[in-house]
Structure 1
Amino acid sequence: MTQAAVLGLDVGGSSVKYRLASADPGDGMPDALAEGVAPAPAADLPASLAELARTVAAGYRLVAVAVAIPGLVDEATGTVIRSTNVPQLDGRPLGPELTEMLDVPVMILNDGRAAAVAEARWGAGAAAHDVFTLALGTGIAGSHIVDGAIVDGANGSAGELGHVVIEPGGLPCSCGQQGCLETVIGAPALRRVWNAAGGEGSARELLAAYDEGDPRAVAIVQAAARHLADAILTLLALVDPGVVVVGGGLASEPHRLVTLAASYVDELATFHRVPPIVPARLGRWAGSVGAAAEARTLAA
């Protein structure tokens, strides 16, 4: 008999990460039958996600899918309320659309929640009962987990630290405000500042130049880490988590932004109880792992 499988998709502004896993129930991290990254299409994203699911699951019996989206979602209806980084999904009943295309149950969830679930259960927060996870990438997502349960807030939109205003009157953010954390430390923001300073390439090249001691890159990365530290200090004042886990592409090894921001937090903290501020262990795969775990629950 063909093996039953579930699929977790992590949709970002520029790519879709996926993990195909066994549908067998369990508490362990979903095993990877297949894992990878596909470019995010510019148009007709639902149809492209359905085609990606069919391609990745070829040779298996797909029984459930979970899709992590950067933005606000209504999990009960599978509708994307608003996604500032994937605006073509705003208002779309993505869950029902994909369910019809794939003929399997589909869950839609926030990408910060998916990453937090994975890091809290199997990653850097596994030993703590109170974990706040941040994912730094095209956008900045976050989620708070206490004793294994996600603290969603009254309307399911808690954790959007990327839209806390860091620079009042600063650059416009896709959410409609000005000076949000995403406008100073998101990957597009870092690329813009790096290119304006004469650097070439994306945030990845910026971080590489920082490692080489380029003074322009050093100044930009230090400023970004200070902004992140300011946001974390706000988080500590409001939430008081036991561990702060920082992941996503911008926080990958050698964890420059994480270690710098943690040092600034230690320097600037006053009344705050500063918890461990640690890099994520699951790296860029946290969202797809968390989505696969939710898909496995959906299939049970």
Structure 2
Amino acid sequence: MRRAGGGPRDPLHAARRSRRAGDRPRPARVPPPRRRAHGAALHRPRREDQGAVSYYLTVDIGGTKTACAAGTAAAEILHRREHPTPVAQGPEACLERIARELRHVLREMRGTSPAPEAVGVACGGPLDSRTGTIYSPPNLPGWDGVPVKAFLEERFGLPTFVENDANAGALAEHRFGAGRGKRNLIYLTLGTGIGGGIIIDGRLYRGTTDDAGEIGHTTILPDGPECLCGKRGCLEALVAGPAIQARAQRLAREHPGSLMNGLVTRSGEITPAVALQAAKQRDWAACEVFRETGLYLGIGIANLIQVLNPEVIALGTIAVHARNLLLSPARRSARRHSWPRAWKAVRVVPSKLGERVGDLAALCCALNAGA
């Protein structure tokens, strides 16, 4: 098996060549490796392996950190390694680091379990889940046409499945979390950006071009603040972490007596975490940060309720930490903007998976293969 490093079979090399030719990059077809990948025993489980735990490799790629792990279909994480994502070094360096970390995980698992069944990768979009190619996600500059699936399949000889992190989060919440046993679920990521994953009749809905679930870029306030996408008044521009921070800074200036002014970070910033800390101490201005955020979030939730009529809307990240400081005003707003019958049929809840959602989301990419 050739190593990915610029040779004719290197999927990254093929993507670069395609980009120079002016085409949209497509990952190269990579033949199955003929020998073990870097010392890892990549045989399929045999009968004599009975009793050993079947497992999957998982990769959760974020703009700040990346986690590589081994997990089972029962949501047990057997071994995990986390490292800062070397974004500034480019996608090749990031993928090489992922390959090294996965080899460490394989070494830890060797002797106790058969070879992994597959690799699941969760990453910010946009991406093509069929080819496993990532196209310019905002949190990974320079990742234009990066063939993650082809790279990992060449390195490890395992079927690899790549999914948008919000879609993957929806799969995890549906299988293991607040949507367990439900047919219709929407999962929202509430972090630096806003993403969404949609489960309809028990299956992930991707849409015509793999772009379903871009809930953060639905318009809530036509003349609102400019969003990173170039539009104005997007849900993301009103509710995501940077919007919460801007709102907190404004209210702290307007209310000099606010606890937020005494809880600033060492760099002098009033962050969402500072606002949350003050809100938990009943500071009026800090609570207003989350009331105003919840108002806009509730309008976005109401739009989802009216269009998709789900049973559960699970909110991740910021909502998990803020709980009712954010959820109560969001529910009031959503109820006010929804039809009563649809509102009564839905539960708006924080994610049950908490900090585990990234690992379990990547795991579900592999578990959901072919669905």
Question: Normalized against structure 2, the TM-score is what?
Answer: 0.71
2:146 partner SS:
coil
Aligned partner (choices 29, 50, 54) of residue 99 of structure 2 = 50
Alpha-carbon distance, 1:288 to partner: 2.1
- Residue 101 of structure 1 deviates from its aligned partner by 4.1
Q: Is the 1:29–1:289 Cα contact (8 Å) retained in structure 2? A: no
1:168–1:46 Cα change, 3 Å: farther
Matched, 1:252 2:323: no
Quote the RMSD (CA, aligned, Å).
2.6
- Equivalent residue, structure 2, for 1:292: 363
Given the superposition, is the C-alpha separation of residues 124 and 153 from structure 1 closer, same or farther in structure 2, using an over 3 Å criterion? same
Q: Is the 8 A contact 1:17 1:285 kept in 2?
A: no
Q: Deviation per CA, 1:77-109: give whole Å up to 9, x if none.
A: 111134123233232222222333444333211
Q: 1:148 to 1:51 in 2, by over 3 A?
A: same
Secondary structure in structure 1 of the residue aligned to 2:361: helix
Choose the corresponding residue for 1:120, options 174, 180, 185: 174
Aligned residues: 293
1:30 to 68, 75, 91: 75
SS in 2 for 1:80: strand
Which aligned pairs between 1:232-271 and structure 2 lie closer than 5 A?
Answer: 232-247=301-316, 249-253=317-321, 255=323, 256-270=325-339
* Structure having the larger proportion of residues in strand: 1
- The amino acid across from 2:165 in the alignment is D
Q: Distance in 1 between matches of 2:156 and 2:176?
A: 29
Which of the residues 76, 85, 100 maps onto 1:40? 85
Would the alpha carbon gap of residues 189 and 29 (structure 1) be closer, same or farther in structure 2, given more than 3 Å must change? farther
Q: Give the letter for the 1:96 counterpart.
A: A
Please say if residues 79 and 108 of structure 2, whose CA atoms lie closer than 8 Å, have aligned partners that are also in contact: no
Q: Which moved more, 1:98-107 or 1:119-128?
A: 98-107
More displaced 10-residue stretch of structure 1: 235-244 or 29-38: 29-38
Equivalent residue for 2:62? 12
Residue 298 of structure 1 deviates from its aligned partner by 5.5
1:153 is aligned to 2:207 = yes
In structure 2, what is the equivalent of residue 25 of structure 1?
Answer: none
CA distance in 2 between counterparts of 1:144 and 1:191 reads 28
Correspondence for 1:216 = 285
Native 8 Å contact 1:30 1:293 kept in 2:
no
Classify the secondary structure of the residue corresponding to 1:208.
helix
Alignment equivalent of 1:280, drawn from 333, 340, 351: 351
Q: Structure 1 stretch 145-154 or stretch 197-206: which is displaced more?
A: 197-206
CA distance in 1, matches of 2:81, 2:335: 37
What SS does structure 2 have at the residue aligned with 1:92? strand
Percent same amino acid at aligned positions? 30
- Larger deviation, residues 238-247 vs 257-266: 257-266
After TM superposition, give the deviation of residue 4 of structure 1 in Å. 6.1
Residue matched to 2:149: 95
Structure with higher Rg: it is 2
Q: Secondary structure at the match of 1:273?
A: helix
Shift of 1:36: 6.0
The question of 1:175 aligning with 2:229 is answered yes
Cα pair 1:16 1:37 within 8 Å, conserved = yes
User: Once the two structures are superposed, what CA deviation does each residue of 1:35-89 show, in whole Å capped at 9, x if it has no partner?
Assistant: 4653332323322322332334432256332211121211221111341232332
One of 144, 149, 165 as aligned partner of 2:219:
165
Letter in 1 for 2:285: R
Change in CA separation of 1:145 and 1:97 when aligned onto 2, cut-off 3 Å: same
- The letter of the residue matching 1:289 is L
Contact 2:58 2:69 in 1 (8 A): yes
Contiguous gaps of at least 5 residues in structure 2? 1-48, 254-259, 266-270
Supply the AA of the counterpart residue of 2:365: E
Change (3 A) 1:254 1:169: closer
Deviations 1:180-230 (A, max 9, x none): 211222123322333453543432222121111222211211111111101
Structure with higher RCO (Cα < 8 A, 6+ apart): 1
More moved, 273-282 vs 83-92: 83-92
Q: TM-score, normalised by structure 1?
A: 0.86
Output the CA distance in 1 between the equivalents of 2:81 and 2:282: 32
